[in-house]
């Protein structure tokens, strides 16, 4: 459902909105090319060690997070909506081919990229949860710091591109 921009539900959703000095095309590449995504998606000292990205509704989006101690945690889901350069929606509640998937904190994420008029991007990432408890659990897990630090890494990476 391509309602753009997504109307936030403040009781159940979390969002990160920020203007960045990176063009929408470059932000899009950072999100959709596995070799780029691995370099920024996990806030340091965490790292992404593997990534599969099949960019279409029902296509797999999976990645493995490595902790500083070296433990690896596979995670992921599938894409639901893909509008090149503008909008990317994925969920952890389904896996490739839309098969139901177990998620600790069930979440769908929406990325919206809008040209900011000076060459950069208004970057908006929204996490949609089942209920207020899901929102709170995700917030306590460090949504704002984590997604913000990852975005800093994306900007640093793509500013060199």
Contact stretch for its own copies (CB under 8 A) within 25-33, 57-65, 138-146, 153-161: 57-65
Query: Which listed residue (6, 31, 41, 123) binds its own copies by CB under 8 A?
Result: 6
Q: Where are the beta strands (DSSP E) in 11-133?
A: 13-20, 47-53, 60-66, 72-83, 87-91, 107-115, 121-129
97 binds its own copies (CB under 8 A): yes
User: Closest approach of Cβ 95 to its own copies, in Å?
Assistant: 9
Q: Using CB under 8 A, which residues numbered 120 to 159 contact its own copies? A: 128-130, 134
Handedness of CA 73, 77, 83, 87 (dihedral sign): negative
Q: In Å, how far are 20, 34, 63, 120 from 54, measured between CA atoms? A: 26, 10, 12, 26
Q: Given the rule CB under 8 A, which residues bind its own copies? A: 1-3, 6, 12, 56-59, 80-81, 89, 91-94, 96-103, 106-108, 128-130, 134
């Amino acid at each position: 459902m391509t309602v753009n921009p997504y109307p936030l539900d403040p009781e159940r959703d979390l969002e990160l909105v920020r203007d960045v000095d990176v063009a929408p095309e470059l932000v899009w590449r950072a999100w959709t090319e596995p070799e780029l995504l691995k370099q920024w998606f996990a806030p340091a000292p965490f790292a992404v060690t593997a990534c599969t990205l099949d960019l279409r509704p029902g296509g797999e989006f999976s990645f493995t997070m490595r902790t500083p101690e070296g433990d690896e945690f596979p995670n992921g889901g599938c894409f639901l909506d893909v509008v090149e350069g503008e909008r990317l929606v994925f969920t952890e509640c389904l896996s490739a081919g839309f098969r139901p998937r177990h998620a600790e904190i069930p979440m769908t994420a929406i990325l919206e990229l809008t040209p900011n008029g000076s060459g950069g991007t208004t970057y908006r990432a929204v996490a949609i949860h089942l209920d207020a408890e899901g929102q709170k659990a995700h917030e306590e897990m460090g949504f704002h710091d984590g997604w913000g630090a990852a975005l800093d890494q994306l900007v640093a990476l793509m500013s060199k591109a």
